[in-house]
A and B are shown apart, each in its own frame.
Chain A
Amino acid sequence: MKGRPMADRSRSTAFAGVGTLAMVELRRWLPRRAIVLAVASLPILLFVTFALGGEADTPFGEVLAVALTGWSIVVVLVVVGTSQGVLADAVEDGTAAWTVSMPVTRKAYVLAKFVGAAPAIALGAVIVPGLVAYPFLAASADANSEFGAVAVIDALQRDTSAYAGLPSLGEYAIMLSLIALLAVYLLAMMLLFGSRLTSAAALLGFGLASAAVLIVFNGLGIEEGTPGVAFVAVLPNRLEELAVVPALVASAAWSACAVVIAAWSFDRRPL
């Protein structure tokens, strides 16, 4: 007889369907929503940078730190706003009940929501606009050049390490990764809240509160090991002090914990 007994297949298919469901979720985000996120995110980053960059006496590292911190907060707001319905809307409109009435576990459903939305949010809200902004930031860092197309092209052709305070592309990528993980963590938190709540106002409130907790952690200086470490990473010279790999792992672990709790909670929710 071909194949395994049905009971064995049942155990191995506890997460069956995740790929299909994740693709459905990803398709909800790509390309339109992700482009909207990127288009909303990029100008804010550039605006903050150039608005502050006009101060000749300010070291560019500080300008960039303020810009990235401000931008991170905007990213937080955008992610909370756009992801509040990831699970709650599906519960509200009945597609969640319809989907889990198929041979799909609720854990698989929640995991697929996360796996599908996380790359779209990370890429759309953080990675793509962040990388696109880099040459503009480099141009801005050149105190002697005025911002413009020529300056940007010029900056792209030069060794950017020559600019005081401008992180190398590698360092900048790590900063972006930490901010992206912060965005992904907030998505996981929105899934967690959505596993119990359907009210958009309550979801937004809880989402913003969870972001505020991270900012409070920062204020108390206990941000290391939390997704809020992204705010520290963008400060001048702090990235060097950070144990980057543990920070990345810790941020990812927070997200994973939130998703696991969301799956557990959703499994017990009446639909």
Chain B
Amino acid sequence: MTTHAIETRGLSKHYGDLVVLDGLDLEVQTGSVYGFLRPNGAGKSTTIKLIFDLIRPTAGSVTVLGHDAQHDGVLARSGVGYLPQQPHFHPYRTVRGVLSYMAHLSPRAPRGRVLHRRIDELLDQAGLAGKSRRRAGVLSGGERQRLGIAQALIGDPELLILDEPAAGLDPQGRREVLDLIEQMRGRATLFFSTHLLDDVQRVADTVGVLCAGNMIAEGPLGEILEAPAAAYTVRVLGETTPVRARLEQEPWVVGIETHLRGEQELWEVQLAERHAGGLLLDALVDAVGLDVIEFHPTDPSLEFAYFDLVGGER
């Protein structure tokens, strides 16, 4: 059994002069829950399309469950369940019909009575048990997303690829989707792409950060959170403008995000280096007409780590 559910080697995709992916090396360990983070236009959709052989690479290779995705595509996909970013079902099919259709295209899905039971089970799990006869075309966004997850699971996949599974969902729908991912932990390898950092932090155990076509960080979530950047939460009262302006000029300050709390201001100060916390405290204490009410390191957050890695601002 291969140790990597997905493995890309030197994967590149160019459109003329535009380089979307540039020698991507990706390794998704079997059994892991892999969060694939990216800013828009980083090449995330391109990577997923290459995994499913929907487009061909300019260079490099993709292996899925030990099979070459391009030359042995049917075998590679036979153990994969897929939720596209925007699931497109035949609108005239019922919810049950969609699952039945998917099952007939999946060599690993059960048949006959066992299939009926499996569909009932998935509908129940997805919270669609009462809507099995509803046409797919009239489902709400959240229901469609849940049906999308159910259809991805119908073939009892070894690998589940979810493209923005919680995008566009209300908080309740988002929580249900994340709960479903949690339930799948240990039963299959999960690879999900998202721009929602909280989702990754909540369910992923491995994170890959893609930026401008390159994997700029990949590893266990704990390691990514230990990125060199540091952040401090500061609550101040008084003459805040001069000191903030001065801090923003300092080379060891990456950025300051300000929130008003009545007369007080809550700052989230991102520092270039962890030891710059002392410099920050000195600057605040020395400031004239400024009372420091709260000062402490911010809890490690994937958001800080992410923006530190991609070099952007929050």
Q: Residues of A at under 8 Å CB distance from B?
A: 6-7, 9-10, 13-14, 16-17, 20-21, 24, 27, 93-95, 97-105, 268, 270-271
Contacts and interface: CB of A to CB of B under 8 A. Distances in A.
B56 interface: yes
10 contacts: A17-B104, A24-B90, A95-B90, A99-B105, A101-B82, A102-B105, A102-B106, A103-B75, A270-B55, A271-B55
B77 interface: yes
Nearest to A108: B74
Interface in B54-84: 54-56, 72-75, 77-78, 82, 84
Contact of B107 (A7, A13, A14, A21): A13
Contacts of B52: 97, 100-101
A103 B90 contact: no
Interface of B: 49, 52, 54-56, 72-75, 77-78, 82, 84, 86-90, 92, 101-102, 104-107
A190 B102 CA distance: 27
Contacts of A93: 88
B78 A103 contact: yes
A93 B84 CA distance: 13
A10 B78 CA distance: 10
Contacts, number: 65
A27 B92 CA distance: 10
B106 A103 contact: yes
Nearest to A21: B105
A172 to B, nearest CB: 36
A14 B71 CA distance: 12
B84 A94 contact: yes
Given A13-B107, A101-B77, A103-B75, 16 more contacts: A7-B75, A10-B75, A16-B74, A16-B107, A17-B104, A20-B101, A24-B90, A94-B88, A95-B88, A97-B52, A97-B84, A98-B88, A103-B74, A103-B106, A105-B73, A271-B49
Q: Tell which of A16, A21, A101 has the most Cβ of chain B within 10 Å.
A: A101
The B contact surface, by secondary structure, is loop
B105 A270 contact: no
B74 A105 contact: yes
B59 to A, nearest CB: 16
Given A10-B72, A14-B74, A97 B106 contact: no
Contacts of A271: 49, 54-55
B88 A102 contact: no
A13 B77 CA distance: 12
Contact of B105 (A9, A97, A104): A104
Contacts of A24: 90, 101
A102 B103 CA distance: 10
A100 B107 contact: no
A3 to B, nearest CB: 11
Q: Tell which of A16, A93, A97, A102 has the most Cβ of chain B within 10 Å.
A: A102
Contacts of A268: 56
Q: Tell which of B49, B82, B104, B105 has the most Cβ of chain A within 10 Å.
A: B105
A27 B101 CA distance: 13
B101 A10 contact: no
Contact of A98 (B56, B84, B107): B84
Contacts of B107: 9, 13, 16, 103
Nearest to A17: B105
A103 B54 contact: no
Contacts of A21: 105
A99 B54 CA distance: 11
Contacts of A14: 74
A263 to B, nearest CB: 14
A94 B54 contact: no
A55 to B, nearest CB: 47
Contact of A103 (B56, B84, B105): B105
Contacts of B102: 102
